[in-house]
Amino acid sequence: MTYRRVAFLLMIICFSLAGLQGESSIKTVNAFSEQVIQHGAVGDDVIELQSRLQYLGFYNGKIDGVFGWGTYWALRNFQYEFGMEIDGLAGQATKDKLVKASNYDEGYVKGKINKGKDFTHYGGVDRTGTPADPQAETPEETAGEDVTAVNVPQGYSQNDIQLMANAVYGEARGEPYEGQVAVAAVIINRIESPTFPNTASGVIFEPRAFTAVADGQIWLTPNERAREAVLDAINGWDPSGNATYYFNPDTATSGWIWTRPQIKKIGKHIFCK
């Protein structure tokens, strides 16, 4: 008899412990991480920030996990309305205010993002039909998985970057990293130069401009490094020293190219004006 009682007691203890744990996990799911979130950031904290701002009616853009201009203005308006310092940064004080003023149901928001892309009315919809059950969701997701947008440099699309990465990879995949950035920089210098076409595709597909285009090597799938090199070049790095031409001295067939003033040699390529 006592044995059964002890077992019963143990069971109760176990259950209440489990309950406690469940509760504490709900809490951790709903809180921002430590970081100060600023313009340009990407990830789960940004999703939460956007959701909370949308809940309060400050943000009406898409919840996409990238801190863009829309989020920036929403945050500043929030800070203004709540009498805080208006700096457009989500620091500890701002996050605390946000958490106090709004509700955030991570499982619900992320489920929506995963299902449909156009998710823009958190807080405004009737959600009684879908009871929130945080334990049913799996919070063990890798960061950034739900982010549906990306940062791109002003004036460029991912596709422009991809096309340039293709060209860089086809032209310079055996080269050191700085050599790849330099090739990407040459493409950009040509876009800006009045003597070449004004678009990335125009420069790349200009007949006889790049050997990788002429022999079809441009259609090899580029690696991550080539993409990174293109991003660096777009963001302002130019190891080529403002060059608009380059050639491989071992394979160059044109004598004319040797008459260009040379700037430097990186890997196998000589870069020139």
Residue 53 or 243: the one with the smaller Cβ distance to other proteins is 243
Of positions 30, 103, 148, 248, contacts other proteins by CB under 8 A: 148
Total residues contacting other proteins by CB under 8 A comes to 81
Site for other proteins, residues 3 to 32, rule: CB under 8 A: none
Rounded to an integer, what distance in angstroms lies between the CA atom of residue 59 and that of residue 156? 25
Cβ burial, residue 210 (10 Å; 0-12/13-18/19+)? buried
- 121 sits near other proteins (criterion: CB under 8 A): no
Q: Which residues pair with 37 in a beta bridge?
A: 90
Among 30, 103, 201, 248, binds other proteins (CB under 8 A): 201
Name which of 137 and 178 has its Cβ closer to other proteins: 178
User: Rounded to the nearest whole angstrom, what is the least distance from the CB of residue 139 to other proteins in the complex?
Assistant: 17
End-to-end alpha-carbon separation of the chain, Å? Answer: 95
How far apart are alpha carbons 207 and 191 in whole angstroms? 15
Pick the stretch among 49-57, 97-105, 133-141, 263-271 that binds other proteins (CB under 8 A). 263-271
By the rule CB under 8 A, 84 interacts with other proteins: no
Q: How far is CA 115 from its chain centroid?
A: 20
Binding of other proteins at residue 39 (CB under 8 A)?
yes
Which of positions 239-258 make contact with other proteins (CB under 8 A)?
A: 239, 241-243
By CB under 8 A, the residues from 125 to 144 that bind other proteins are 143
CA distances from 119 to 114, 122, 137, 167 (A): 10, 8, 19, 36
Report 40-79 residues binding other proteins (CB under 8 A): 40-43, 60-61, 64, 66, 68-70, 73, 76
Place of tokens 């950031």: 41
User: Is 56 or 188 the residue whose CB approaches other proteins more closely?
Assistant: 188
Residue closer to other proteins by CB (options 123, 241) is 241
By the rule CB under 8 A, 268 interacts with other proteins: no
The region of 22-30, 38-46, 101-109, 121-129 touching other proteins under the rule CB under 8 A is 38-46
CA-based angle 195:258:164, to the nearest 5? 50
Three-state DSSP class for 212? helix
- Binding test (CB under 8 A) with other proteins, winner from 16, 21, 24, 35: 35
**Cα torsion angle, 189, 254, 169, 217, sign:** positive
Residue 222 CA to residue 129 CA, distance in Å, equals 46
